[in-house]
Structure 1
Amino acid sequence: MGMMDKFKQMLKGHEDQADKAVDKGGDYIDQRTQGKYSGQVDSAQERMKDQYGRNDQGPGEPGQ
């Protein structure tokens, strides 16, 4: 079992909390870098959410 599989198992049932944590972390990085890397941070946030299965549960938010 790979590290990502273990991570997904730990998050199972807590996707909403994980979404909030990813968003909060991204906001912190944006704040510390004064938004200089906001595009890259947003991409990383979406990739993290996709990796732990947010989109496996149903459709994501439209337009993102």
Structure 2
Amino acid sequence: MAGLDDITKKAQDFIEENKDKVEEVLKSEQAEDISDKIIGSVADAANKVTGGKFADQIDDVRENIDKSIGTE
């Protein structure tokens, strides 16, 4: 487990050291396009698996995630 802890610490340090760059990338148009496709696919799969029973909740989560990534 020490190896995983070391990798996690390095990732956290990298993100902290490059916080401005990371935020810039997450707010880019390219991130918006990619995130829309991924989030849409995950939401569609979740609705398919649940038979649409939780469509409203899934849409809410999808919208909240989408607001955090990209430009829209």
Taking structure 1 as the reference length, the TM-score comes to 0.64
Gaps of 5+ in 2: 1-15
Q: Which amino acid aligns with 1:21?
A: I
Give the Å deviation of 1:13: 4.4
Q: Is the 8 A contact 1:8 1:52 kept in 2?
A: no
- Distance, in Å, in 2 between the alignment partners of 1:8 and 1:17 is 15
Gaps of 5+ in 1: 56-64
**Identical counterparts, % of pairs:** 25
Residue in 2 that maps onto 1:24: 41
Residue in 1 that maps onto 2:28: 12
Over 6 Å off, 4+ runs? none
- Distance, in Å, in 2 between the alignment partners of 1:49 and 1:17 is 11
What secondary structure does 1:18 align onto?
helix
Taking structure 2 as the reference length, the TM-score comes to 0.58
**Superposition CA RMSD, Å:** 2.5
Cα deviation, 1:13-35, whole Å, max 9, x if unaligned, reads: 42201101000000000000000
- Distance, in Å, in 1 between the alignment partners of 2:42 and 2:54 is 13
- Distance, in Å, in 2 between the alignment partners of 1:49 and 1:19 is 7
Higher helix share: 2
